[in-house]
Chain A
Amino acid sequence: MSEYIFLEDRILDETGAEVMMSWETPMMEKHAEVVTENGGDILEIGFGMGICSNFIQQHQIKSHTIIEIHDEVFEKLLLWAKDKPNVTPIKGSWVDSIPNKQYDGVMLDTWKDNKNVEFKKLIAKHVKPGTIFTFYNSYEEKVNGYNYKADYIILDVEPDPQEYEYFTGKKYYLPKVIF
């Protein structure tokens, strides 16, 4: 597994591409608000800088399961989770490590994943009527990469300059899918 570079305001992958940046904090705060609307059991896939995870913890939820595939990021997740009794860290890919249960909210934010078809098939087994699914969305319009019918919360954002230019727009279309 490639080694990441952890800076105060960003994580870079082995090519120098930004995996996640701190300017996204307002977006992650809103994702956390959306995914916890039902309370209950929350599944978060991709820990990253832990920004969204921190916000999720500020809401009234029963459990918070976090799946992280990257070795170093998972170590950081374990440290972060030490004093959080409702957090279950899981090391691995969502492909084969989602616990056998149905969640009230699912948040997905991964890196170099690109398995939308597989995810749609799998997640259907882990949701129930009313489950909220939200995910990182780089489209600057009311579109999502899963072709789910979604509501969009439009946020004004100010991206920091990026080498990789994964998001340069001024509007973030945060998707909210209700199963």
Chain B
Amino acid sequence: MPDINKINGLVLCDEIHVNGVTIANILNIDSITKNCCTANGPISIAGPEDSCALACADEDCGNYYTDGTSGTCPLVNGDILYSDASCTLATSGYYSPTNCVGSCDYCYSVNGSGVITVTECPSTCNEILLSRSTESCTVACGGECTTYYTNASGVPTAGDYIYQTSECSCEGEQPAFTYYSNKCGERSGTCFTVNGSCQIGPIAGCGR
């Protein structure tokens, strides 16, 4: 099968004229429809999501195409994102290759015309179910769990942070020590001692 994108060593979609004919005026060659998207891709990207935070955390990657230079990290503002090789514009929303092949830690905001605006991925802010006590680990380990936030992507460890706000900011005056637990009714759990800067210090097991 001849490849319309590569003729006589030329990458058709990268050329402006071929044999004196403007590329834009070439619709097909030998009954093969011109399809420039395949020349720049596929690239592995997750999305669309409702925010950069969600896109940058998304691990469900798919193949997309672009008129930009595939393989570069990141793509650049103004590049077009296509959802298939037939140049269908990608649905508007937020995309990211962060957790995909190439691990490019950027967010692509795509508008209704498929045009990309590139931003950095926001710092991680994940939901976590915890119980909280200002008294002790014992109380925290047996307490009812509600949603808090952390910069950790899995179970937090010493040095990570636990926040009460979805912006992952340590707002307001915090107690010198607050105790959080992820036991949440399970057989086992951990108690995190958090200082006034919302940072986790000593960690203990529940139930001892």
Contact = CB atoms under 8 A, between A and B. Distances in A.
Contacts of B145: 116, 145, 147
Interface string A8-22: 000000010101100
B208 A165 contact: yes
Contacts of A146: 129, 184
A115 B155 contact: yes
A17 B207 contact: yes
Contact of A144 (B185, B187, B188): B185
Interface string A93-132: 0000000000000000111111111000000000000000
Contact of B186 (A117, A138, A143): A138
B89 interface: no
B146 A147 contact: yes
B207 A114 contact: no
A147 B129 CA distance: 9
B109 interface: no
A143 B144 contact: yes
A91 to B, nearest CB: 20
B182 interface: yes
Contacts of B207: 17, 164-166
Interface of B: 126-129, 142, 144-147, 154-155, 182-190, 205, 207-208
20 contacts: A17-B207, A19-B187, A110-B186, A114-B155, A116-B145, A116-B182, A116-B184, A117-B128, A117-B129, A138-B183, A138-B185, A138-B187, A139-B142, A143-B144, A144-B185, A145-B183, A146-B129, A164-B188, A166-B188, A167-B187
Given A17-B207, A115-B154, A138-B185, 8 more contacts: A20-B187, A114-B182, A114-B188, A116-B145, A117-B128, A117-B147, A139-B185, A164-B188
